[in-house]
Amino acid sequence: MCGIVAYVGHREAAPLILKGLKRLEYRGYDSAGIALMNQGLNIYKKKGKVKDLEEILDGEALQSNIGIGHTRWATHGEPNDRNAHPHFSNSGSLAIIHNGIIENYSAIKQNLVKKGYVFQSDTDTEVFVNFIQDIQQNTGCLLEEAVRLAMKEVVGAYAVVIMDAGTPNQLIAARKGSPLVIGVGDGEYFFASDATPIIEYTNEVIYLNDFELAVVRDGELTVKNVDNILQSPYIQTVELELEAIEKGGYDHFMLKEIFEQPRSVADCLRGRVNADSGHLVLGGLRDYTEKLSKAKRIVIVACGTSWHAGLVAEYIFEELARINVEVEYASEFRYRNPIIKEGDFVIAISQSGETADTLAAIELAKSKGATILGVCNVVGASIPRASHAGAYTHAGPEIGVASTKAFTAQVTVLTQMAIAVASKKGTLHEDTFRRLLFELERIPSKIEKVLKSDEKIREIAEKFKDARNFIYLGRGYNFPVALEGALKLKEISYIHAEGYPAAEMKHGPIALIDAEMPVVFIATKDSSYEKVVSNIQEVKARKGIVIAIVTEGDKLIPTMADYTIEIPAMHEALIPLVSVIPLQLLSYYIAVMRGCNVDQPRNLAKSVTVE
């Protein structure tokens, strides 16, 4: 989950790398560092954020046209200066940056210690670079060959970029399980964990595949696989606007991304849905819709917010398409022996498309004969490439660590999938099909309307910024929304929050209700409305404080709840796309009022590319 940036070419490397690291800080912000070739191979690194690194660089001679940089999310070794990347080899001739985990580092380290190697950090990364040095010294081979041989021996996930003091115009990169993209410019090359640091300079990129090794030497790029066979990398154009990765006047990326949801949901629908003509086509699934409509079972694998989107999809697929759906944590799915058969479909959901547990779940399901469909946001990421087919969410870059527009984009795509399958299967009446398309087209404007309640939600947040606990309750389609609302609050405000099905409150959580307990109900007009009203009464009878998300025009719940936030009426299956918006804003404003860093919450990183 660390961020990698490297450059070789005609530009000054240091400012380019530092700017790139800032764009990758969502991937980790425990420490940062940079290595440059300027009168020798020099490393500068510092615990903290990139701005802390910049402070120690002030006044340093940084002129260089080649360099590597890193922003860290700690795995092996606590966050401090000595564990920050880059790391030197013992000889001081090699410097490395690394994203991932080397699982067999301990055994390798023991062998190296016996040979006299001394380690300056607690990281697996320093073991990796010294292992490469040891191979090179023992065999007399070129560095790229030493890296290739090391790739055959190390176990785990990695994306690495290596500099060699003896070859000042060379960068070597390798990848297995962790993302690495190469930007191709005019006589210059950029390496990064994703395209955001690159797009300012070139939109031509190569996505390095697993077990591939890239070497840039004297302005020329070659790519080989781990068996030393020359590859012909595919150069593709990235459709990403520079302004999409800037704050655009908002105080935080998270707030910007919350307010981008009318557009991001519209982008998920564009070209796919036309209610007037009764048109619904997901191009990436065109060849699989009929097969999916005949499936006996769908398994959804995901983590975090994507798992919540999968839970919403479970309700929609089962209701509309009458297909059995199971939603699994990818991290649990991969460590048991799941019953997967040929004919089963596995839908893998991931914003980044690089989530390590989800990738592993895909490989396990594929080995058992399942058909894999990916739902991802990042074009060219690992999960889309590992899937048989799928659909992109087209939400645009999401920089805030806590997902907001990714959730609504995923639910939008999954809803379209369910409607398309139900229509093909014949379980959806034509009138309902048309109504769903009609209402889907109007979701962006309904989100826009809810965003106008911004000031009211801010006022409610002011009342609860000092709360120590929250409970979120919902039923049916809104139960996953309750889980997502609770996750958002604890992620960015550090307030303990739990989500439950509203009916489960009586089976334990009701013991927590008192006059200091805020309880958020998603209490919209749907098939569970009367039941939720009863649950609200149970909370009020115990002096709990009720914040209710209600349908416009509701006359009953406002007489019972302490605070209400209205959302427009819509088809029950589409409510999660809108009911989640006030919960995102509530979490955001509470976190800001508590002085929290909402874009970079403690201990978290955006893309979980390691276990």
For 386-438, what is each residue's pLDDT tens digit?
A: 999 999 998 988 888 899 999 999 999 999 999 999 999 999 999 999 999 99
Is pLDDT above 60 for 149? yes
456 and 581 housed in the same domain: yes
Same-domain status, 216 and 319:
no
- CA dist., res. 468 & res. 470, Å (int): 7
Residue 574: give its domain's CATH number.
3.40.50.10490
pTM of the model: 0.84
Q: Which two tokens stand for residue 440?
A: 């889907």
Looking at the structure, tell me whether residues 130 and 73 fall in a common domain: yes
Domain, as residue range, for 457: 452-611
> Phi and psi dihedrals of 404, rounded to 5?
-130, -70
Q: What percent of the chain stands above pLDDT 90?
A: 76
Q: What is the total count of domains within the chain?
A: 3
Residues 65 and 166 both lie in one domain: yes
Q: What is the mean pLDDT of residues 465-476?
A: 95
From 226, 243, 260, the end of a domain falls on: 243
**Residue 320 pLDDT more than 90?**
yes
Question: According to the model, what pLDDT value does residue 378 have?
Answer: 84
pLDDT (0 to 100) of residue 605: 65
Check if 2 is active-site: yes
Residues 457 and 444 placed together within one structural domain of the fold: no
Q: What is the distance between the alpha carbons of residues 23 and 291, in angstroms, rounded to a whole number?
A: 41
Catalytic position from the list 2, 268, 303, 376:
2
**Percent of the chain surpassing pLDDT 70:** 98
Clarify whether residues 194 and 86 are in a common domain.
yes
pLDDT at 513 over 60: yes
User: Amino acid identity of 482?
Assistant: A
| CA quadruple 130, 132, 138, 141: dihedral, nearest 10 | -150
pLDDT of residue 476: 94
How far apart CA 72 and CA 61 sit, in angstroms, is 24
Q: 224, 243, 262 — which closes off a domain?
A: 243
- Kindly state whether residues 132 and 222 are assigned to the same domain: yes
Q: Quick check: is 376 catalytic?
A: no
Q: Is residue 178 over pLDDT 90?
A: no
Catalytic residue among 47, 446, 525, 606: 606
Q: How far apart are CA 173 and CA 8, in angstroms?
A: 12
Please give the mean pLDDT across all residues of the chain: 92
CATH number of the domain that residue 163 is part of: 3.60.20.10
Residues 439 and 490 in one domain: no
Quick check: helix, strand or coil at residue 106? Answer: helix
Are 51 and 195 within one domain?
yes
Q: What is the model's pLDDT at position 238?
A: 81
* 101 neighbors 127 (Cβ within 8 angstroms): no
Q: What is the pLDDT of residue 52?
A: 93
What residues form DSSP beta bridges with 4?
A: 70
Same domain, yes or no, for 57 and 130? yes
What number is the average pLDDT over the span 61-72?
94
**Are residue 285 and residue 325 in the same domain, yes or no?**
yes
Domain boundary among 451, 469, 494: 451
DSSP class of 1: -
If asked whether residues 338 and 364 sit together in one domain, one would say yes
Centre a 10 Å sphere on the Cβ of residue 381 and count the other Cβ atoms it contains. Answer: 24
